[in-house]
Structure 1
Amino acid sequence: MNVRTRHAARLAAAALACAGALAPGLVAAGPAEKVYMPTVSYREWEVEFRGGAQDWPGHDGDNAQQYVADIGYGIAPRWFTELAVSYAKQPGSAGRVDEIEWENVIQLTEIGAHWMDVGLFAELARDREEGKNEIELGPMFQKEFGRAQFNLNLLFKRELGIRHAEADEEGDVADEGGTEFEYAWQWKWRGNPLFEPGVQGFGSLGRFGSLRSEEAKLGPAFFGRAALGSGRALKYDAAFLVGATRGTPDRTLRFQLEYEFF
């Protein structure tokens, strides 16, 4: 293992240790979830709109929709910060703004300088419907194999504040806390920048202490980027995801549009 590889491995281990220190939260994200990149473009603005809908017959979440609008800025050479507003619509009810999120990407390594690129994702979210504040933290990994690129997010989610456990009629105390562990990944083949095929996947392993595959979905995805000149670009990706567990929507359709400029 060379010096660069050891350095990247140490940074990855530090990121995982920091994320593991979180210890309660949401189960799984909605159909507008995304894969975060460990790269930062200093002084670049980004305006993003993403959304999705899911098909889950026989469940409350059948035909649920979610849309997220973001605006972000590369505030420092290795720090990108973003404000997002999430709008959700459940079947039979009016749509509503359900979350306000402050997202941050910290680039930990020079892109392409090590065996693996590593970053740290941190988010503070306000759940308006339930009146809760949540934090999400975890490492992001990126690796290129020739013309292929693989990305992985390992995210740990926790509700802020003190939760008081309540005893049931038999005197047993219910555990309302716990750290949620979620992941997101994608693989794409880099060729024509306007259209690159790949695969995306998202899932949840539930709470620490009782980890199991609560949610898992994956399917074909498509990516693209069009340079518009003068430091401007338009990016997109979309995926059709199929559920792989009983706790996952049967089908999910998601998309993401992003406008970048300096």
Structure 2
Amino acid sequence: MYFTLNERRLPPAILLAVTTNAALADGVVVDRIYDPYVEAGETELEWRATRLRDGASEESEEEALDGVHLHRLGIGYGFSERWFGEVYLIGEGSHEEDLSLAGVELEAKWQITEQGEYAADWGLLLEFERENDKDLSEVAVTLISSREWERWTGTANLEAIYEWGSGEEELESALKLQGRYRWKAELEPALELYAGQDTFGLGPVLLGEIKLRPGHRMRWEVGAILGLTDESPDQSFRILLEYEFF
């Protein structure tokens, strides 16, 4: 793997994630970054999407990712003050292929610590994904950490992924980091870093929350992640809409 950045200057955790093949859904690393928090009795309707733009040459394998768009449509529920579960339908498309149902995903989030109990808040995300059209299955475990200082919040997602099917088995990893400035609930700017399968990217993100009526709110996120290495997609765009109610 060739990098335009000096590998010796990368922190070991980032370097490990970059040099290990890691991604859900065929190399699409850029996605939401999870916080560790759970609210009992909350119902959530979610749509999120990622679209890649890559100006790779015709000889490059990365060209297959140009124009790829991945969608997740999910419904979730907070079963307790510690556990939240969600199920997703996954759709994939590209310039050459129309959007189609590619698989399903089951997800469970465990809030390990109470908010503010320690210097950082901790959670664990468990995922199972089945891609029917490619006869592939994945299980993933993500360690989530979040810490606040003054008006800033830092969040880290460290993923370990095991993939099997189609005669292959892989153990993968990925790292996602977010630094968010809590300006106001409706608009919070952030910076995100992603390291995974052929992707090392950094870019700005905007997040917000709109209260609709008591017990109902809409969360949104939109971001553009720029590739920092030759093998990374030039741009990865992500969007999230989430309707939450009790």
**Which of the five TM-score ranges fits, normalised by the shorter chain?**
0.7 to 0.9
Contact 2:40–2:80 under 8 Å retained in 1: yes
Instruction: Say which structure, 1 or 2, has more relative contact order (CA 8 Å, 6+ apart).
Output: 2
Instruction: Pick the aligned partner of 1:191 from 169, 183, 189.
Output: 183
* Cα deviation 1:63-106 (Å, max 9, x = unaligned): 11111111100012100000011111122122211121001110
Contact 2:222–2:239 under 8 Å retained in 1: yes
Alignment of 1:106-145 (within 5 A): 106-145=110-149
Rg comparison, structure with higher value: 1
Q: Which amino acid aligns with 1:192?
A: K
Q: Which amino acid aligns with 1:77?
A: E
Runs of 4+ with deviation above 3 angstroms: 24-29
State whether structure 2 residue 218 is matched by structure 1 residue 234: yes
Q: Which amino acid aligns with 1:98?
A: A
Match of 1:259 in 2: 243
Match of 1:200 in 2: 192
Q: CA deviation at 1:203?
A: 1.9
Match of 1:88 in 2: 92
Q: CA deviation at 1:26?
A: 4.8
Contact 2:22–2:174 under 8 Å retained in 1: no
State whether structure 2 residue 44 is matched by structure 1 residue 60: no
- Cα separation, partners in 2 of 1:48 and 1:131, compared to 1, 3 Å: same
Rounded to whole Å, the distance in 1 between the matches of 2:184 and 2:81 is 28
Q: CA deviation at 1:177?
A: 3.2
State whether structure 2 residue 215 is matched by structure 1 residue 223: no
The alignment's C-alpha RMSD in Å is 1.9
* Cα deviation 1:177-226 (Å, max 9, x = unaligned): 3310012121110021101111122221x5xxxxxxx3111101111011
Instruction: Pick the aligned partner of 1:249 from 233, 240, 244.
Output: 233
Contact 2:39–2:81 under 8 Å retained in 1: yes
Unaligned runs of at least 5 residues, structure 1: 1-23, 165-175, 207-213
Contact 2:164–2:170 under 8 Å retained in 1: no
Q: CA deviation at 1:258?
A: 0.6
With normalisation by structure 2, the TM-score equals 0.83
SS at structure 1 position matched to 2:226:
strand
Rounded to whole Å, the distance in 2 between the matches of 1:129 and 1:143 is 39
- Cα separation, partners in 2 of 1:119 and 1:44, compared to 1, 3 Å: same
* Cα deviation 1:81-138 (Å, max 9, x = unaligned): 0001111112212221112100111000001111000000100000112112210002
SS at structure 2 position matched to 1:227:
strand
Rounded to whole Å, the distance in 1 between the matches of 2:99 and 2:136 is 19
Contact 1:25–1:134 under 8 Å retained in 2: no
Match of 1:41 in 2: 39
Rounded to whole Å, the distance in 2 between the matches of 1:142 and 1:234 is 22
Unaligned runs of at least 5 residues, structure 2: 1-20, 57-62
Q: CA deviation at 1:153?
A: 0.3
- Cα separation, partners in 2 of 1:29 and 1:83, compared to 1, 3 Å: farther
With normalisation by structure 1, the TM-score equals 0.78
Contact 2:127–2:140 under 8 Å retained in 1: yes
Number of residues of Structure 1 aligned to a counterpart in Structure 2:
219
Instruction: Pick the aligned partner of 2:78 from 59, 74, 77.
Output: 74
